[in-house]
Structure formats: structure tokens, C-alpha cells
Structure 1
Amino acid sequence: MSDWYIILSLVPGIFIAVLFYLYVDRYEKEPTGPVILSFVLGLLASAITYLLEEYLSNTFPQVQTKLWSAFIFALLGVSFVEEVTKIIVFWAYPNRIDAFNEPLDGIIYFVLIAMGFATVENLLYGAIYGLETILIRSITAVPAHGIFGVMIGYAFGMMKFKHLTRKQALSIMGYAILLHGVYDFFIIQNASDYLLIGALVTLGVGIWISLRYIRQAQNLSPFKGAST
């Protein structure tokens, strides 16, 4: 894998992480240490999850040929595994630190973990499938991880500060996992290339939801109006 391939694989995840840090986290910037560590923990989580997904893929190699089987695999073998791994990482670190002091921080830290996760995933798939895969994933799969990260991070942040009940927050997390599964289903199925359009529709829905959640969390910030 050439140096250019590595750079192109790294750029999308880092770019989105920086974008959220600089422009989404508007009223009270998070400390540098937790920001970097959250991203790094996402890197480590991705490597572990990749090995598990490869095992599942090799164990059920024909799953993509039937639509229903492809959906179950996408939901449980990919989406559920990936998002639960990120949730465990989030619960173990950002959720417990003092810097997590407003609902918006749930989004920021979860997206940082998701971008670390997506960066390693991009590197691994790029090494196997080449430049075209890196470029396509840079505008689809990597942002998708950010979208699902916004949804789950929003749920954590709103639950932590009592704006949502646990049941409501878990429902949103479940919807995020389902949306991720639907997206991956359209990607991994090989019944029809036309179904790939469904992945773009799923991303569009996810972007709309994410923007709403970001605005809601920003409006609830106790630091709004106090920042200079």
C-alpha cells in the first residue's frame, strides 16, 4: 500500500473529526487529551471488530446471495457488532469523564470514536481493494459512521442530562443500529445494482436526522451565549 493510499485513507475520518471539533462543538471546546484519546480508542476498536467481521463473513460466505439473509447479516453481523463496540468504548471512557458536561458532548465524543473506527476500516479495505474503494468509502461509509455516531451520541447526551428517558435513548440507539444495518444491506447485497440507490437514500435520511439532533443539542447547551 503506497504512502498516497495511506494518506487518502486517513484524510476523511480525520477531516470529519476536526470538523465536528471546530464547528459543531460551538460553545465549549473539549480538552485536547480526551478528544485525541477518544479517536485513538476508535482506531483500536475498529481493528478488533474487523477481525470478528472477517470471521463471520468467512463463516457465512453465501449470505449476500439472498436478500433476507443479507439483511440479517448486515444488521447483526455488521451494524450491531460495530455500533455496540463503539457504545462499549464510549461507556468506558467519554461517558465517565468530567469534560462530558453537556448534551452536545455526547455527539462530539461518539463521533470522534466513530471517526477513529472508520479510519482504520478505510485503511484495511483500501489495502485490500485499492484506490477506488478508498475514494468511494470516503464519501459514503466514513460519513455514514459519523451519521450513526451523531444519533447514538445524541441519545447518550440527552439521557445523561435528563432530557430523554433511558427507554427513549435506547430507542434512538436502536434506530441508529437499524439504519446502519439497512445501509449495509444495500451495500453488501448482490441481487441488483439498482438497490445500491437505497444506500444513498439511507444516508440522506441519516443526514436529515443528524442535523436535527445537532441543532437540538446545541440549543440545549448551558454555555450558549457565554462563549466569546
Structure 2
Amino acid sequence: MPQNNQMKMVMGTAAVAVLCLLGLVTLLMIGAMNTGLPGLVVGMIMAVLPVPLYVALALWVDRYEKEPRWMLAAAFLWGATGAVFFAFIFNSIAAAIFGTVGGRGAAEIGGSVLSAPLVEELAKGVALFTFFFWKKDEFDDVIDGVIYAAMVGLGFAMTENVSYYGQALQGGGLSGTFFVRGVLAPFSHPLFTAMTGIGLGLSRETLRKGLKSAAPLLGLSTAMFLHATWNLSASFGAAFLVAYLFIMVPAFFGLVGVVLYAQARERKIIRANLIPYVQTGHVSPGELEVLCRFGGRTKTLMAAMSAAGWAGLRREARFHQAASELAFHRWRTERGISKGVQEYTVREAEYLRVIAECRMQPVARFGGYAGA
């Protein structure tokens, strides 16, 4: 293994170990300060149980150019450990300051409405900004921003819910708390942080310098505003239902609309940037149609599995991913997001190699067969 790769592996392992340690410390603090041992155990169980479903729903959005699994896992891990740890520390400090100045009421309102939105959205946003600047080839557009934000938000909500469920167990309101946080609003943290992701995605996509600079800050500010509105409404009983129905639900469906529009844009990017490879014979016209339709992709995956089992499914999924990566690689390069001609040529050749390798095995697709 090259020394550079070894160093990356060591650093990655160390980072995961540190984050896991922060997560453990956070759980110990929650148990000692908020829930006690029984509440901590029950809270952990209830917080973790629905997570696979919510993660699956989030990943379902990532249809065309799927993000690396390690980056999705890293986003979730940061949200569940590092982001919660630092938010817990700074929110506790802020609550103590508000309490000293204005008493218990000021500590509760100031902590939840002023400190929490600022601190928590900044903490969650660290992962998004890191990916945005560090992995430019894997943060292409609005969809990528929403996906990474969803993973960070789900991780954060999972650990935060341990505290809420544990405290609710002590106070006798566990079922109500689970209904609100697990049924009515499991999307709250992903929704808030998605605003930051959308801002970064717009910044990546646009060619307008003013919007490129302003979009991330606008997205982060919107995330904080929605978060503050949510927390403020929760402090005033009936106002929560009003805010939920007239702010959070419309915001959620607005996000769905943004995602659908962004997915359509991704299809256009794939089509426009694969046409040259159709002309050179690397991709067939029928394959291009499959790649630009979600239903087409699903049917060919099922056909591949029916014909060749899991190996066929993996091969077809590999073809989809390589072709999509090739399209976005060309799109990024045309927009000036490139490490130079040599890097472009090397990566293009690798994508074409994978595509050719996958097309050697005939799998039924719209418009013909892979080898046709």
C-alpha cells in the first residue's frame, strides 16, 4: 500500500476513534446530568430504532450520482458524536450565562431560542463546509448538500433524542415525546441543516460570483431561523401546532420541491455530458435513456439481478455509478472545477474502463442489451 494511502488510513482511523470517544463522553454526560442510567438505556433504544428507516428514506433521494458511503457515514458519525458534543458543551455554558443574568426562565428561553439554533447549526454545518472545500469532486450540487445535511441531521437527532426520551421516562411523558419527536417531526434537524446544504449546493452550481459567496451564509442563516422558530414555538404550547402546520410542514414540502427540481437538473447534466460518449460508442442511446430515468435504472437493476443474481445487480449498479460519475466529472471540468488536464484524462479513462468492463456482460436494458 502506498505510504500516502497508509497515512490517510491512519488519520481516518484516528478521527473515527476521537469521534467515538466524544460520542461516549456525550452519552455519559447525558446520563449523569439528565436521564440517569435507566433513562439513558431506554432513550438509546428508542432513539436508535427508527434511524435505519429514516436513513433509507434520505438515501432514496440520492438516485443518480450516489455519494461515497464513507462520506455519508462520516457525516452521520459527526452529527451523532462531535456535533452533539460541542453543542452540549456550548449550550450548557450559554444556559448558565442566561440563568445568571435573568434566572431560570431566561436560561430556558435563551438556551433554546438563541444559543441552540446558533451553536447546533454551526456544529452540524462543520461537516458540510468541510466536504464542500475538501471534497469538491463529491459535492456537486444541491442534491449533494441535502443528502449530507440529512445524514448529519439524523445523527444529531438520534443522540439528542436519547436525552429527550430519557428525561421523558423520568417525567412520565415518554409516549407523547416519542410521538412529537419520532413521528411528527423526525425530519426537523435534517430539514434545518438542509438549508445550509442547499446554500452550499447553490454556491457550487452557480457561476454568479455574488450568489456563490452569499448562498452558503444565506442557507446557514435560514437553518438557524427555522431552528429558532421551532424551539420558540415549542416553548408556548399551542403555538407549536401553529408553527408546525404553517411553517414546518410548508418548509418540508418546499424542500421536497427543491429536491425534485434538483433531481431533474441532475438528469439534464447526465444527458448533456454523456451524449459525446454515445457518439463515440462508449455508451449506447438506450443506455443513456436508462441512465436519465429513475424507473429505467430500477428496472435494469431488477433485470440484472434476475439474470445473474447479486453479482449482476452489483455490476449493473457499478455501471450506473461509473456513467454518472463520468458525466459529472466532465461537467465539473467544464466549469473550472478540475485539477488539470492530466487528472481529467486519468479519471475519464478509469470511468470508461469500468463502463466497458460492465458492458461486457449482456444485461437487458431499455433500447437493447449491454453488449449491443
Q: Name the counterpart of 1:34.
A: 71
Gaps of 5+ in 2: 1-37, 272-288, 298-372
Could you tell me whether the CA contact under 8 Å between 1:13 and 1:142 is conserved in 2?
A: no
Q: Does 1:57 align with 2:104?
A: no
Evaluate the alpha carbon distance shift between residue 64 and residue 205 of structure 1 in structure 2; reply closer, same or farther with a 3 A threshold: farther
Contact 1:80 1:177 in 2 (8 A): yes
1:209 aligns to what?
254
Calculate percent identity across the aligned residue pairs: 22
1:80 aligns with 2:111: no
Letter in 2 for 1:218: Q
* 1:1-228 to 2 correspondences below 5 Å: 1=38, 5-21=43-59, 23-44=60-81, 45-61=83-99, 65=105, 70=109, 73-93=111-131, 95-97=133-135, 98-130=137-169, 131-132=174-175, 133-162=177-206, 164-189=211-236, 193-201=237-245, 202-221=247-266, 222-223=269-270, 226=291, 228=297
TM-score, normalization by structure 1:
0.83
CA separation of 1:14 and 1:54: change in aligned 2, threshold 3 A? farther
Distance 1:63 1:106 in 2: 39
Distance 1:184 1:14, change over 3 A: farther
CA distance in 2, matches of 1:63, 1:109: 38
Contact 2:43 2:161 in 1 (8 A): no
Aligned length: 221
Decide whether aligned partners of structure 1 residues 195 and 210 sit closer, same or farther in structure 2, where only a CA change above 3 A counts.
same
- For structure 1, the 5+ residue unaligned runs are none
**C-alpha deviation, 1:185, in angstroms:** 0.5
1:63: Cα distance to partner?
6.9
Report the Cα distance in structure 2 between the residues aligned to 1:101 and 1:171, rounded to whole angstroms.
Answer: 18
Residue 66 of structure 2: SS of its match in structure 1?
coil
Instruction: Provide the rounded CA distance (Å) in 2 between the counterparts of 1:58 and 1:174.
Output: 25
Superposition TM-score, scaled by structure 2 size: 0.53
Describe the SS at the equivalent of 2:138.
coil
What per-residue deviation string (whole Å, max 9, x for no partner) do you get for residues 141-167 of structure 1? Answer: 531111112222111112112265322
From the superposition, tell whether residues 5 and 117 of structure 1 become closer, same or farther in structure 2 (CA, over 3 Å). Answer: closer
1:211 to partner: Cα distance:
1.2
Q: Is the 8 A contact 1:94 1:109 kept in 2?
A: no
| Cα distance change of structure 1 residues 55 and 178 upon mapping to structure 2, 3 Å threshold | same
Does the 8 A contact of 1:42 with 1:115 survive in 2? yes
Say which one has the larger Rg: 2
Residue 218 of structure 2 aligns with an amino acid whose one-letter code is S
* Rounded Cα–Cα distance in structure 1 between residues aligned with 2:256 and 2:158: 22
TM-superposed CA distance for 1:18, in Å, is 2.0
Question: CA RMSD for the aligned pairs?
Answer: 2.6
For the 8 Å contact 2:199–2:219, the answer to whether it is kept is yes
More deviation, 126-135/109-118 = 126-135
Instruction: Tell me, in whole angstroms, the C-alpha distance in 2 between the residues paired with 1:137 and 1:73.
Output: 19
> What are the Cα deviations for residues 143-197 of structure 1, in whole angstroms up to 9, with x where unaligned?
11111122221111121122653224422331221111111101134xxx22222
Pick closer, same or farther for the CA change 1:56–1:40 going to 2, 3 Å. Answer: same
Q: Distance in 1 between matches of 2:142 and 2:254?
A: 16
| Displacement after TM superposition at 1:113 (Å) | 0.8
Distance 1:128 1:63 in 2: 22
> Is the contact between residue 143 and residue 263 of structure 2 (CA under 8 Å) also seen in structure 1?
yes
Give the counterpart letter for 2:204 in structure 1: K
213-222 or 133-142, which deviates more: 133-142
Tell me if the contact between 2:43 and 2:163 (Cα under 8 Å) persists in the aligned partners.
Answer: no
